[in-house]
Structure 1
Amino acid sequence: MMTTEEHEKLRGWFAGRLPDDLYESLTEVTADREEITVVGRVPEPRLAEGASEAEREAALRARIQEFRERTRDDRVAVAREAEHLYGRKVSWGVQCGTERALFTHVAAPVMTRLRQPEREVLDTLIAAGVARSRSDALAWCVRLVQRHTDDWLTELRDSLEQVRRVRSRGPDAGPRGDTPDDEK
């Protein structure tokens, strides 16, 4: 996980590097070991007053697709720079009204060992048609937990950041809070 300062620098780099007319606003920059995801807001399409929900949804999806095609070259150029600088793939997304879409992004494999009761949960999801494979079922479970525990995960991440800050001030910290070279 990134420190708050590292995340702020990453977000600042994208805010400064993105063309001014790419997004209305930069809403999210997230990163893990494999990927940086950049999401920005684009303006909603203008619709006639009283447009139906179906018309509105279709217009939002079309605006997102138009944005994706029109900005591809600019996004690829920025991604190449960032990938060289940060050593991670860059993925893009957009928020338009109530619609959010992520474009091609990394699906990183994660290996885990599960005992039989845990495998049974995954196999039940497969049997019920919720997932095609154990891998899909596990991803579904992670998304479900993520959706229902956002507050808890945010608190946990904040706590980890506090632990990092305290460790950096410990007895093994160097003059700037770094660990001495022989311990890196």
Structure 2
Amino acid sequence: MITNEQRDEVRGWFAGRLPEGLFAELVDVAVDREEITVVGRIPEPELGPDASATEREAAREGRVSEFRERTRAERMEVAREAERRFRRKASWGVECGGTRTLFTHVAAPVMTRLRQPERQVLDILIAGGVARSRSEALAWCVRLVQRNADGWLSELRESLDQVQRVRSQGPDA
């Protein structure tokens, strides 16, 4: 479990280490056991008021692609330092015009044992065309819970941080 203090250390380090002007704004630094994902905002391309939605979307995609290629060396240098310091892979993403795009990022395998009723839920998602495999169906379920239970998950994280603080004050600390 990652504590709030560890999260704050990682966020603070990236806020101080990122090259000046890399992003218009640092939006998010997410941390788990395997990965640190850094997301920054980049300016949306300026188009005339008569530009179509298709043209705007294509311009955003072009801006993201240009940013990714232009900043690759700088981002790789920061990622190498972060990986040595925090012992996690560093991944990158951007927000441009309200759209978030993640570059190469970790897809960590997770093993689980499910009973028949739980497997049947996954199989229904496959049969309904929501997912192509049980793995993909399980990932879809996790994203659904994440989207609908943010308040509850935040409260749980805070409780776990409190447990960590109490443990660190114990006799074995």
Unmatched 5+ stretches in structure 1 = 174-178, 180-184
Partner of 2:109: 109
Q: Which residue of 1 aligns with 2:6?
A: 6
Equivalent residues of 1:11, 1:29 under 8 A apart: yes
Q: How many residue pairs were aligned?
A: 173
TM-score (norm 2): 0.94
Give the conservation status (yes or no) of the 8 Å contact 1:61–1:99: no
Aligned to 2:122: 122
Question: In structure 1, the residue corresponding to 2:47 is in which secondary structure?
Answer: coil
- Alignment partner of 1:109: what SS? coil
Instruction: Report the 3-state secondary structure (helix = DSSP H, G, I; strand = E; otherwise coil) of the residue aligned with 1:30.
Output: strand
Following the alignment from structure 1 to structure 2, what is the Cα–Cα distance between the partners of residues 83 and 94?
20
CA distance in 2, matches of 1:147, 1:56: 27
1:34 matched to 2:22: no
The question of whether the paired residues in 2 share the 8 Å contact of 1:44 and 1:63 is answered with yes
What is the RMSD computed on CA atoms of the aligned residues?
1.3
Structure 1 equivalent of residue 159 of structure 2:
159
Which residues of 2 match residues 74-93 of structure 1 at below 5 A?
74-93=74-93
The aligned counterpart of 1:176 is none
TM-score normalized by structure 1?
Answer: 0.89
User: Distance between the aligned counterparts of 1:52 and 1:149, measured in 2?
Assistant: 36
Structure 2, unaligned runs of 5 or more = none
The structure whose Rg is larger is 1
Moved more, 57-66 or 116-125: 57-66
User: Identity over the aligned pairs, expressed in percent?
Assistant: 68
Counterpart contact for 2:42–2:94, Cα < 8 Å = yes
Q: What secondary structure is seen at the aligned counterpart in 2 of 1:110?
A: coil
Displacement of 1:30 in angstroms is 1.1
